[in-house]
Amino acid sequence: MDNKNTQPIFSSSACKTISLDQISPSQFQPRSYFDGTAMAELTASVKQHGILQPVIVRPVGENQYELVAGERRYKAAKTVGLTEIPVVVRW
């Protein structure tokens, strides 16, 4: 298989860092239950290593974004007190 023309999903040019204050959770989040043990493990990982994979957001106003994917990472970042996280903006 020839992978010469494949691009990484999250290239450094597509990813940027924004303030958590600029992100709001989506009212259409399909997931309503987050396992407490899994969240605790993710929170510990985020505290130790930071956010390793960016969340996906969409613009909803000037310098405001709605979370599209990555609510667990978003919640863990808030819990450990991060002020900024890596995001990929999709329109």
Q: Which positions are catalytic? A: 71
Q: Are 6 and 48 in contact (CB under 8 A)?
A: no
Q: For the residues of 46-85, what is the DSSP string, one character each? A: HHHH--SS-EEEEEEETTEEEEEE-HHHHHHHHHHT-SEE
Backbone angles phi, psi at 90, to 5 degrees: -120, 145
